[in-house]
Amino acid sequence: MSMKSQQFSKLIMDTPLIVDDVVLDYAINGVIDYFASSLPATNQHDIEQLKKAILQEQGIQTSWLIGHKVYVTSKQAALCNGFQAHLLDNDDVHELVRGHPSAVILSALFASIDITQHQFIDSRRFLTAYIIGVEVMACLGKAVNPTLYLKGWHATATLGGIASVAAICYLHQYPFLEQAFMLAATQASGLRLVFGSSVKALHAGIAAQQAIQSIEWLKLGLNVTGDFLDQAVGFLTIFANSEAILDLSNWGQKWQISELWFKNYSYCSAASSIADATDSLVSSHTLDLAQIQYIKVTINPNADSALIYKYPQTSLQGRFSAEYIVAKILAKESLSFDAFNTELIHSDTVQLMQKITREYIEDKVFPRYAKIEIGFMDGKCLESRVNYPKGSPMNPYSSDELEQKLVTALQNQELSMAFIRDIRQFFHPINLVNFIQTYSEKI
């Protein structure tokens, strides 16, 4: 079933509050992971510089700058919080989106809450708005991918703003979602060419800020016409092709928030199966790296579209390199946040990367499988295959594992437990303004 944006907008705004505890728990996990991904980045140089510029710019302090104990304007909060949530690249991803939903959607939703208005923002409506935002982003992703991604667009940026205006309009019950769709769509951009630099993460902030800006313009009375789903020259046609269809026939039957991938690593999720397969070999065998003759990585065609660096020059580029990640794991070297920076890659790692080749064998049953084969000079060969990487919907982290990620981020057990408890109480009608005011002073 294909729709025009007017029908799409009505479908979204008429969606009842979600009361299914299982679905809400997926959303709760997404919120926990969002903070766990964002807070470790608060002291990163790029964030400190952006925060400095924001504080110099000033403005009416309405919105939460997460992890900094200050309030800023809603547009500033959306930009910085989105950037921060995605900067270490350990935030959630979605297969249909081929990008990172929560870094954009939750940043935009939190930024849209004006703490100066002393209004009641029902946390249950917030969760439903978040679920709807992920659903919109996934439905759009299904319609335009893989074409959009393979053309070179960064789906987090091109789809995130559109999904976020849907979430914001639902949360605050704004009557102009159709126009907000058009404004967000006309601002959509973001090139994958910037992967390997911090601008990739900035895309999440820009998309969240565009959503906030679109809403603010419409509240001021800006007039915009046009159907962003226009078949001839609309969003789907421009970013994919004229045959792309937004299928909403299953709206509300199975919410796509259940398909979020969570990460406890700071590199591209396209390398997750590759890393897991390599880890398996390292943990079960004693490897003499000097005796390795070749290393073969086998995956599905185009499964490595985001892994654009076969021979990265810097470890930051290595975040998007199967070769760098495999080499680091084989050498039992750290792949923590600090392993991805602007420093040149060590010569030993370069030599190991040069032994790695990629091979493509289609497996329609397991789209994210990876097989690692290591051949040694004495003729010995070792293999390992992973079909479902850790953190994916078919091999998920437990709630305890997700909570530990937040505990590690906050480095304060007592505060973490209180924070997690209050987030999990979003099932009940908590006033999010009070929640924000409490934790903006604590974290």
Domain boundaries, the chain: 5-264+396-441, 269-386
Q: Alpha-carbon distance 272 to 197, whole Å?
A: 20
Query: 251-266: per-residue pLDDT in tens?
Result: 999 999 999 999 999 9
pLDDT tens-digit profile of 74-123?
A: 999 999 999 999 999 999 999 999 999 999 999 999 999 999 988 899 99
Checking if the pLDDT of 290 tops 80, the result is yes
Residue 3 in this model has a pLDDT that exceeds 70: no
The CATH code of the domain at 5-264+396-441 is: 1.10.4100.10
Say which residues have a Cβ less than 8 Å from residue 95's Cβ, sequence separation at least 6: 259, 261, 367, 368
pLDDT category at 1 given cuts 50, 70, 90 is very low
Euclidean distance between CA atoms 27 and 29, whole angstroms: 5
Residues whose CB is less than 8 angstroms from the CB of residue 188 and which lie 6 or more positions away in sequence, other chains included: 157, 158, 159, 161, 162, 207, 210, 235, 239
What is the tens place of the pLDDT at every residue in 132-168?
Answer: 999 999 999 999 999 999 999 999 999 999 999 999 9
Neighbour count for residue 314 (Cβ, 10 Å): 17
| pLDDT tens readout for residues 363-403 | 999 999 999 999 999 999 999 999 999 999 999 999 999 99
CATH topology of domain 269-386: 60s Ribosomal Protein L30; Chain: A; (3.30.1330)
Average pLDDT, integer, range 224-246: 93
SS3 track for the chain: CCCCHHHHHHHHHCCCCCCCHHHHHHHHHHHHHHHHHHHHHCCCHHHHHHHHHHHHHCCCCCEEECCCCEEECHHHHHHHHHHHHHHCCCCCEECCCCECHHHHHHHHHHHCCCCCCCCCCEHHHHHHHHHHHHHHHHHHHHHHCCHHHHHCECHHHHHHHHHHHHHHHHHHCCCCHHHHHHHHHHCCCCEHHHCCCCHHHHHHHHHHHHHHHHHHHHHCCCCCCCCCCCCCCCHHHHHCCCCCCCCCCCCCCCCHHHHEECCCCCCCHHHHHHHHHHHHHHHHCCCCHHHEEEEEEEECCCCCCCCCCCCCCECCHHHHCHHHHHHHHHCCCCCCHHHCCCCECCHHHHHHHCCEEEEECCCCCCCCCEEEEEEECCCCEEEEEECCCCCCCCCCCCHHHHHHHHHHHHCCHHHHHHHHHHHHHHHCCCEHHHHHHHHCCCC
Cα Rg, the chain, nearest whole Å: 22
Residue 27 CB contacts under 8 Å (≥ 6 apart), including other chains: 127, 130, 131, 257, 426
Rounded to two decimals, the pTM is 0.94
Question: Same CATH topology for 5-264+396-441 and 269-386?
Answer: no
Q: Over 50: is that where the pLDDT of 234 sits?
A: yes
Q: What is the pLDDT of residue 336?
A: 87
> Does residue 11 surpass a pLDDT of 50?
yes
Can you give the pLDDT at residue 341?
Answer: 84
Residue range 50-65: average pLDDT?
96
Query: What tokens appear for 81 in the block?
Result: 């919080």
The pair of structure tokens assigned to 251 is 């709206």
